[in-house]
Amino acid sequence: MDIFMIELKKNGHENKIFEITHFMFLKIKIQNYRKPPGATQCWNCNMFNHSSANCGFQTRCLKCGEEHRMNQCPITTPQENPKCINCGATRHIASWRGCPLFPKIKPTKGQGVNYPKAQREFLASL
């Protein structure tokens, strides 16, 4: 099954796309975009929690830390001991999920409470 991502400009009619059920004799299903879990990493500065579209920081190469994008880096072979431009440690690059500065996913649910305990706490609060 092929999946396509379509971006629409907001003009007041963008939600009409969800009414479409068939296209060129094919049955289709249109859904909102669901961002994959995990941290956002900027392709411009390689820091976390923002995208390159909203980046106001200096361009930094993921491989060498110089002021150019990774696709313009003169280093073309894999580094034996790369240096992370975010934490300064060697042996990993800034996109490695094990980096100490890589944002951790926060749990979305708190401590679970069983029904009898919740009922007692609720009745005690009245």
Q: What's the pLDDT tens digit per position in 43-93?
A: 999 999 898 988 999 999 988 889 999 899 999 898 888 999 999 999 999
Are the beta carbons of 19 and 28 closer than 8 angstroms?
Answer: no
Q: What is the pTM of this model?
A: 0.54
Q: How many residues comprise the chain?
A: 126
| Amino acid occupying residue 60 | R
Which range (21-35, 38-52, 55-69, 104-118) has the least confidence?
Answer: 104-118
Rounded to whole angstroms, what are the CA distances from 12 to 5, 18, 26, 30, 61?
Answer: 20, 13, 26, 18, 40
Backbone φ, ψ for residue 100 (5° rounding): -60, -20
Are the beta carbons of 85 and 65 closer than 8 angstroms?
Answer: yes
pLDDT at site 107: 64
Of 94, 85, 39, 47, which is closest to residue 66 (Cα–Cα)?
Answer: 85
